[in-house]
Amino acid sequence: MKKENTLKYMNYSWVIYIFYWLLTIYIIALLYAKIDSPFWFHQPIYHSYEIYPKLAWSKKPYWKRKRSVKLGIFCNIECIETWELSDFQQMHSTHDHTSKLCSLLQGYYVDNEYTLFYCTKDYLTKVMGGRGFVSCYRENTLVKPSTQSSTVQSLKPYLSVPNYDRFYGCIMSRPTMVYFHYYPEYNCEIHFWDFLCVHDMYKDRLLSRNLIQTHIYNHCNREKSFSGGYCFLKYNELCKGIVPLVQFDTYHFILKRVKFHKLPVHYRIYTLNQNHVDLWRSIYWQITSTFEVAFMPSFESTIEWLSNERYVIYATVYKENAVEHVHGVYFFEKTQKTWLNDSIAQPDVIRLAGCMKFVGNNLHLHDPNEILFFRGFLNCLQEFLLQNGEKQTKPQGILEIPSIGHNKKLLPKWREKYELNSKIPCAYYLYNLVYPSSPVQDDQFLFLA
């Protein structure tokens, strides 16, 4: 009897030892994560060490922080101001903020050793859509008060006032909808932050952390109805200790003159404009219901794309039994970036932001190997180059293709024709919103925002 009790006690002891051993390892992992990534450790994101999203029965998206945003340790409200973009662009009476912001972005947004970025007010308005927010870092200047009050002079002989002569850092965010294919009841509006830029003088001070947290704090306090959810993109050096929503590669190809095969006679290419609102409506809802996760601004906001060419949108349509069917849709973007390469006559970077082959019952049975879907892309690309005045006798620039969505259907055939110039690792991340099924497959994700 004593022997049986001893064996039971020993087995129970082993369970305790294993529990303490696992707990110790988990605590060590938490300490390592805090030391390795002190900024992201304190942010409401999907950390790689979190257990609940991996073990939870439900894979529904959920918010990490539901309470109001508090002033964080990385906030710097003294030197970082936040404006609505429309207000920011109208401040020309005393300070031309927009030109200073464009000057900062042109100088430090991309690596100017290899790439030039041309930024204008019109470009920012086109990308941001007018509903975004912008935060800028500027220094303060000490000045004497204009009023000669003895009390003020004795307590504070100089006043610290904002100096708008130059911006040294910025971050912008714009609204977009996130659509979850398996959980449509959780579709919601969040913000995508972009144009995070820091002057070389301040990179050693980790100013980007201050910009991110201060922008979120100011934005959430100014827009009380906002959910507090964000999305952002990282490339080259991906975030440590964070589970990405999706991870993929972006490819760059140098365009050269190539023979394009024409589409069949019953095919037609539409360049979408304001006359195609109904066609765009069907395409929009097809996109948002096709991919597991898709980012698109609200339909009402995207109608502006048909006139301002935020994206140049092409649709290939074929006629069957006197009825037109959409086969593919392709989104091209002018990136405002230019490579510093003397061997390329037109070194502008154009981007295939995304594409989609329409799916449905008994659709496109004439194209089982997706050859016509690829040929449609080639013809749309040729039309895009011709519309933008590209020459046909020399290399026509650089084509950027992120391997997301149905771009992955095109890449294998495209690489048979063109030599790969560069390959960059990229990832999108969610902030304050967790999708437990992350990371999703890159061919099940589309981002157009």
CATH at 109? 3.40.630.30
| pLDDT at residue 74 greater than cutoff 60 | yes
In-domain check, residue 285: yes
Q: What is the pLDDT of residue 16?
A: 67
Asked whether residue 306 falls in the same domain as residue 426, the answer is yes
Residue with more model confidence, 227 or 441: 441
In-domain check, residue 413: yes
The C-alpha angle with vertex 335 and arms to 288 and 268, in degrees rounded to 5, equals 55
In-domain check, residue 57: no
Residue with more model confidence, 388 or 176: 176
Structural domain of residue 25, as residue ranges?
2-36
In-domain check, residue 46: no
Asked whether residue 297 falls in the same domain as residue 435, the answer is yes
Total domains in the fold of the chain: 3
Determine contact, residues 403/411, Cβ cutoff 8 Å: yes
Asked whether residue 314 falls in the same domain as residue 428, the answer is yes
Asked whether residue 307 falls in the same domain as residue 395, the answer is yes
Asked whether residue 217 falls in the same domain as residue 298, the answer is no
Asked whether residue 205 falls in the same domain as residue 309, the answer is no
Asked whether residue 30 falls in the same domain as residue 99, the answer is no
User: What confidence tens digit (pLDDT) does each residue in 160-171 have?
Assistant: 788 888 999 999
Asked whether residue 423 falls in the same domain as residue 340, the answer is yes
Asked whether residue 221 falls in the same domain as residue 258, the answer is no
Question: In which residue are the tokens 């024709």 written?
Answer: 417
Q: What is the pLDDT of residue 376?
A: 93
- Cis ω before 439 (30° cut-off from 0): yes
The span from the CA of 29 to the CA of 87, in Å, is 45
In-domain check, residue 304: yes
In-domain check, residue 429: yes
Residue with more model confidence, 314 or 48: 314
Asked whether residue 152 falls in the same domain as residue 254, the answer is no
Of 374, 336, 334, 379, the C-alpha closest to 355 is 374
User: What confidence tens digit (pLDDT) does each residue in 94-127 have?
Assistant: 568 889 999 999 999 988 778 899 999 899 999 9
User: What confidence tens digit (pLDDT) does each residue in 241-258 have?
Assistant: 899 999 999 999 988 776
In-domain check, residue 132: yes
In-domain check, residue 45: no
Q: What is the pLDDT of residue 336?
A: 92
| Whole-prediction pTM | 0.88
Asked whether residue 350 falls in the same domain as residue 310, the answer is yes
Question: Among 20-24, 141-145, 234-238, which is the least confidently predicted range?
Answer: 20-24
| Mean pLDDT value of segment 133-142 | 90
Asked whether residue 140 falls in the same domain as residue 105, the answer is yes
Q: What is the pLDDT of residue 386?
A: 84
- The percent of residues above 70 in pLDDT, for the chain, comes to 83
